Amino acid sequence: MTDRLEGKTALVTGGAGALGSAIIRAFLAEGARGVMVTDLRKESLSQFSQVGPSAVDVVQRALDVTDGDAFETLAREAHERWDGLDIIVNNAGAVPPNARIHNIATEDWTRTLEVNLTGTFHGVRAATRVMRARGGSVVNVASVSALTAWPYAAPYCVAKAGVVHLTRVAALEYAKERLRINCVCPGAFPSGIHSGLPDGALDAIESRHPLGLGEPEDVVGAIVYLASEESRWTTGHALVVDGGYSLP
Ligand SMILES: NC(=O)c1ccc[n+]([C@@H]2O[C@H](COP(=O)([O-])OP(=O)(O)OC[C@H]3O[C@@H](n4cnc5c(N)ncnc54)[C@H](O)[C@@H]3O)[C@@H](O)[C@H]2O)c1
């Protein structure tokens, strides 16, 4: 523990997933005093009821990020509970079935944009409405697929590219209010998000990462950095954490 988030409060989406749970563990280890852990189903968050020193307030809430009103309500709850919300991490994400464009169903396109892009917009908007008076940090989880073209994943790539650009626009709009908005662009690490990939696909993806596939813990350092005061003069940035994937 290095206390880089000492006294901070945070709301994290997709907290039951591989990266989400690593983020929560890192935030608690770095001294956060309050963390609202959210995901689609509250029962998937029970792992966090015992985590961290007893002085830390960890609350679990169900949140579908496609519901903008529900997102704002929880952000307000966190703000009132802790007399200030400092950090929102928009981590929830989902991938559509693997398909070339002629085979993509409109529902899969729409759903992928709703979860990954509109869900992040809801988190950014909640931050601008709830956190603006005292400033803070929003960290969006995009993907290196926002910056490099991935075949068979058009809706996901487009949604994540949208997250990068939303991050830039929002950063510019709210810099004067000391609300910083950044994103991370991870390369691939094993998680539930890859469960629908055909056999061997992850091996092919791994071969394109000079440092090999990552682990969620390889990405959380960048998120802690962007959430903390260490990055206080950084906003609108897309921090690539991809094991060298985007180098060639
Ligand atoms: N795993 C990778 O290789 C990789 C690479 C780059 C970026 N990412 C991004 O990292 C983030 C975390 O993904 P992960 O790899 O840990 O996958 P994961 O499947 O383990 O976690 C994703 C979580 O998001 C939740 N979720 C899905 N739809 C939701 C919704 N509508 N509302 C709220 N929660 C919802 C899921 O329940 C799940 O707990 C995602 O944004 C993903 O796109 C992952």
52 lines ligand 1 (CB under 6 A): no
pLDDT digits (tens, 9 = 90+) for 53-109: 667 999 999 999 999 999 999 999 999 999 999 999 999 999 999 999 999 999 999
Q: Residue 1 falls within a domain, yes or no?
A: no
Give the other-Cβ count within 10 Å of 117's Cβ. 23
Q: 3-state class of 62 per DSSP?
A: strand
Q: Residue 20 falls within a domain, yes or no?
A: yes
pLDDT at 53 (0 to 100): 62
Residue at 76: amino acid letter: R
Low-confidence ranges of the chain (pLDDT < 70): 1, 50-54
- Phi and psi dihedrals of 218, rounded to 5? -75, -15
Q: Residue 149 falls within a domain, yes or no?
A: yes
The residue segments making up the domain with residue 184 are 9-240
Check: CB of residue 211 under 8 Å from CB of residue 186: no
pLDDT at 151 (0 to 100): 94
Q: How far apart are CA 172 and CA 102, in angstroms?
A: 37
Alpha-helix runs per DSSP H in the chain: 18-29, 68-81, 106-113, 119-130, 154-174, 201-207, 216-227
Ligand 1 nearest-atom number relative to CA 141: 41
193 lines ligand 1 (CB under 6 A): yes
Helices (H) and strands (E) in the chain — how many of each? 7, 7
pLDDT at 201 (0 to 100): 86
How many A from CA of 176 to the centre of ligand 1?
Answer: 31
Q: How far apart are CA 73 and CA 38, in angstroms?
A: 13
Q: How many domains does the chain contain in total? A: 1
pLDDT at 51 (0 to 100): 62
- Phi and psi dihedrals of 179, rounded to 5? -100, 110
At 212, which CATH number? 3.40.50.720
pLDDT at 215 (0 to 100): 98
39 lines ligand 1 (CB under 6 A): yes
pLDDT at 1 (0 to 100): 57
Count the residues in the chain: 248
Q: Residue 246 falls within a domain, yes or no?
A: no
Q: How far apart are CA 90 and CA 190, in angstroms?
A: 19
pLDDT digits (tens, 9 = 90+) for 49-69: 756 666 799 999 999 999 999
pLDDT at 197 (0 to 100): 85
Q: How far apart are CA 42 and CA 112, in angstroms?
A: 22
pLDDT at 50 (0 to 100): 57
How many A from CA of 107 to the centre of ligand 1?
Answer: 19
> Is 174 one of the annotated active-site residues of the chain?
no
Q: Residue 56 falls within a domain, yes or no?
A: yes
